[in-house]
């Protein structure tokens, strides 16, 4: 689904990510850990194709196609979708219309209603995007938009941050639907990369591989639960020893 080779990313002339290598197979969910400021968000923004995140070296391959130079809208059309850590408020655009615009086919009113009900967002559909939304509402709105878009590769930037423990269960269910957790591996068509700071989301999703990012490099590839347990016990300093 996704292959990243020797990727380096610069933001405003400063290299933030160095020599990133990553492979995510179809049907797989991978998890990215790392302290604040290590470059996790930068990686997702670069995969999505935000122009401010400039590729200075390496390639990004999606479903066998080199997308390194493609603009963001073409990547979205090819099937890459992303939820933001802190999405902006968009005054003058109703959440309802954004969900409709995220669908490939012409917006079907009934489908918008179903998606909103599923995400417990019915009351919020008529409000401007993220305007006055709580932390949990913002994250559910992001996932509702992704459910409308139905991307093949879903990139999630800290989907559980700012969400209370009860709502996390619903967030987990919505993510699992996007990532086809209930489908047998062989019939899955999707894959995901999830940034998590706390690791809470691991209680809900079936993650296969975890990585730790430190200072713009990936180290410690392995079982996500083992990585989380090690980080909790010893902190990220010990993870630095895994960097090759
Ligand atoms: N415009 C910029 N100029 C210089 N450094 C930046 C810029 N934007 C982000 N950074 C730096 O990039 C690093 C990685 O940030 P980020 O990807 O947001 O980390 P994370 O998501 O892991 O917390 C941080 O040190 C941040 O200060
Ligand atoms: Mg971040």
pLDDT of residue 243: 57
| Residue 149 confidence class, pLDDT cut points 50, 70, 90 | very high
Q: List, for residues 158-185, the tens digit of each pLDDT value.
A: 999 888 887 899 999 999 999 998 888 8
* Ligand 1 contact, 11 CB (< 6 A): yes
Nearest by Cα to 150 from 192, 96, 194: 192
194 burial (CB, 10 Å; 0-12 / 13-18 / 19+) is: buried
Q: Whose CA is nearest to atom 18 of ligand 1?
A: 41
Share of the chain above pLDDT 70, in %: 98
- Tell which wins on pLDDT, 46 or 244: 46
* Ligand 1 contact, 14 CB (< 6 A): yes
For residue 44, report the distance from its CA to the centre of ligand 2, in Å. 9
pLDDT of residue 164: 83
Residues that place a CB less than 5 A from ion ligand 2: 40-41, 85
Q: List, for residues 231-241, the tens digit of each pLDDT value.
A: 988 888 877 77
Please give the average per-residue pLDDT across 63-88, as a whole number. Answer: 96
Sign of the C-alpha dihedral computed for residues 203, 159, 99 and 64 taken in this order: negative
pTM of the model: 0.95
pLDDT of residue 150: 95
pLDDT at 103 over 70: yes
pLDDT of residue 225: 94
* Ligand 1 contact, 49 CB (< 6 A): no
Report DSSP state, residue 186: G
Give the number of the ligand closest to the Cα of residue 16: 1
Which of 42-51, 58-67, 196-205 shows the lowest mean pLDDT across its residues? 196-205
Tell me how far apart the alpha carbons of residues 115 and 153 are, in angstroms, rounded to a whole number: 19
pLDDT of residue 107: 65
For residue 17, report the distance from its CA to the centre of ligand 1, in Å. 9
Q: In what order do the strands lie in the sheet with 29-33?
A: 80-83, 153-157, 191-195, 29-33, 209-214, 217-222
Share of the chain above pLDDT 90, in %: 80
pLDDT at 55 over 80: yes
Give the number of the ligand closest to the Cα of residue 36: 1
Q: Whose CA is nearest to atom 20 of ligand 1?
A: 37
Using the atom order of ligand 1, give the atom closest to the CA of residue 39.
17
pLDDT at 244 over 70: no
Long-range contacts of 104-110 (CB under 8 A, 24+ apart): 104/149, 104/150
Please give the average per-residue pLDDT across 87-111, as a whole number. Answer: 90
Q: List, for residues 8-33, the tens digit of each pLDDT value.
A: 999 999 999 999 999 999 999 999 99
**Assigned CATH for 2-86+151-242:** 3.40.50.300
* Domain ranges across the chain: 2-86+151-242
Classified as helix, coil or strand, 153 is strand
Q: Which residues contact 151 (CB under 8 A, 6 or more apart)?
A: 76, 79, 80, 81, 178, 190
pLDDT of residue 234: 87
* Ligand 1 contact, 199 CB (< 6 A): no
Tell me how far apart the alpha carbons of residues 209 and 125 are, in angstroms, rounded to a whole number: 35
């Amino acid at each position: 689904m996704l292959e990243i080779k020797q990727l380096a990313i610069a933001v405003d002339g400063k290299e933030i990510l160095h020599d990133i290598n990553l492979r995510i197979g179809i049907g797989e969910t991978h998890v990215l850990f790392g302290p604040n400021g290590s470059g996790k968000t930068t990686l997702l923004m670069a995969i999505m194709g935000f122009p401010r995140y400039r590729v200075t070296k390496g390639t990004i391959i999606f479903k066998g196609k080199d997308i390194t130079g493609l603009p963001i809208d073409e990547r979205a059309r090819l099937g890459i979708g992303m939820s933001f850590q802190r999405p902006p408020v968009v005054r003058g655009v109703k959440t309802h219309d954004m969900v409709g615009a995220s669908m490939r086919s012409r917006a079907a009113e009934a489908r918008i209603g179903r998606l909103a009900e599923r995400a417990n967002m019915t009351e919020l559909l008529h409000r401007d995007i993220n305007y006055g939304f709580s932390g949990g509402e913002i994250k559910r709105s992001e996932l509702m938009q992704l459910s409308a878009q139905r991307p093949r590769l879903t990139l999630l930037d800290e989907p559980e941050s700012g969400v209370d423990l009860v709502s996390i269960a619903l967030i987990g269910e919505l993510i699992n639907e996007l990532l086809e957790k209930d489908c047998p591996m062989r019939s899955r068509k999707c894959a995901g990369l999830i940034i998590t700071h706390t690791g809470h989301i691991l209680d809900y999703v079936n993650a296969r591989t975890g990585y730790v990012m430190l200072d713009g490099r990936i180290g410690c590839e392995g079982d996500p639960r083992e990585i989380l347990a090690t980080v909790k016990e010893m902190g990220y300093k010990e993870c630095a020893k895994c960097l090759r």
